[in-house]
């Protein structure tokens, strides 16, 4: 079961409800990406075969859902804010979501 949590920047107060990297559900694998043009963190579908995804696997094909030509990169917990490069951490006061 995948989880989504609210990550918040300590410098600019940007927040996003995301998986924080790779999240795996019963029928899909999502990964958080950083889009430089949108200045957002976004979870995108990277596989519909979670049972066939090795533990340290990283997708090679992914894009911004707003525009496939946007410059993006994989993002994981501990990486910087997409707007100011500040520290992003889980907002413990916010709720989290379980998805499948």
- How many beta carbons lie within 10 A of that of residue 97, not counting itself? 11
Give the whole-angstrom CA distance, residue 15 versus residue 30.
19
pTM confidence score: 0.90
pLDDT band at 98 (very low <50, low <70, confident <90, very high): confident
Cα-Cα end-to-end distance for the chain:
5
Give the model confidence (pLDDT) of 19-72 as tens digits. 999 999 999 999 999 999 999 999 999 999 998 888 788 999 999 999 999 999
User: Where in the sequence is the domain holding 85, given as residue range(s)?
Assistant: 2-99
Please state the domain count of the chain. Answer: 1
Asked whether the predicted pLDDT for residue 16 surpasses 80, the reply is yes
């Amino acid at each position: 079961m995948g989880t989504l949590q609210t990550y918040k920047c300590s410098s600019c107060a940007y927040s996003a409800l995301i998986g924080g990297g790779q999240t795996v559900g019963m029928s899909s694998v999502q990964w958080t990406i950083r889009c430089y043009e949108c200045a957002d963190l976004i979870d995108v579908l990277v596989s519909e075969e979670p049972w066939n995804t090795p533990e340290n696997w990283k997708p090679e094909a992914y894009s911004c859902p707003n525009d496939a030509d946007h410059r993006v990169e994989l993002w994981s917990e501990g990486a910087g804010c997409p707007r100011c490069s500040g520290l992003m951490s889980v907002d413990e006061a916010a709720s989290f979501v379980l998805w499948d």
